[in-house]
Amino acid sequence: MTNAPLLAPIDAAPQLRRGAVLAYPTEAVWGLGCDPFDEAAVLRLLALKDRPVDKGLILIAAARSQLDGLLDWDRVPAARRNEIDASWPGPNTWVVPATARVPRWISGVHAGVAVRVSAHPVVIALCNAFGGALVSTSANPAGAPAPSTLSSLDPDLRTRLDGIVEGETGGLDRPTVIRDALSGAALRL
């Protein structure tokens, strides 16, 4: 087996539209991503990670507009919506009530969906080239440490991916904070 090819974001987008699972750099670690509306791609990504579907997955976007129709903003208090808007783009993930458009293979057993509007240039380029939000989960098998460099990406995983988007992580020392949009409580620090 050989390593997945390195791709520029513009070259990765057509692959994503065809059901590819790719690794790409995020704010702190390398992530795995795919089209969130392609059930087969998401289930393959979950199998690569050995992650159960009920845990849910994060969606990452280049702009809040890429999340339109997926989030029930009416249920979020106005002050919290302002806080969320002020935190984006940036390394802040929020669990927001999901609309019926969010597939169960994304939300898992949860009524909300974890979302982030990133300021990372590779994520922005990838989401813009794809034309929407993507799945974002750390590029590691369950229980293994999340890779902060491309060289620390699991060698077996590298051979099972459809591609690796070129770039570097954003330099954060840990994955992004996750907060609940209704209460503001931190779910992951």
Q: Where along the chain do its domains lie?
A: 6-188
When computed from its CA atoms, the radius of gyration of the chain, rounded to whole angstroms, is 15
DSSP state of 4: P
Is 16 within 8 Å of 35 (Cβ atoms)?
yes
Q: What is the largest CA-CA distance in the chain?
A: 52
Extract the tokens encoding 117.
Answer: 């509007």
Q: Encode pLDDT of 21-78 as tens digits.
A: 999 999 999 999 999 999 999 999 999 999 999 999 999 999 999 999 999 999 999 9
Integer Cα distance of 76 and 72 in angstroms: 7
Mean of the per-residue pLDDT values of the chain = 96
pLDDT score at 1: 63
Average pLDDT of span 113-122: 98
Matching CATH number, 6-188, of 3.30.70.580, 3.20.20.210, 1.10.1140.10, 3.90.870.10: 3.90.870.10
Please tell me the pTM assigned to this model.
Answer: 0.96
Extract the tokens encoding 188.
Answer: 């992951």
State percent of the chain over pLDDT 90: 95
| SS3 of residue 123 by DSSP | helix
pLDDT score at 2: 77
Residue type, 148: S
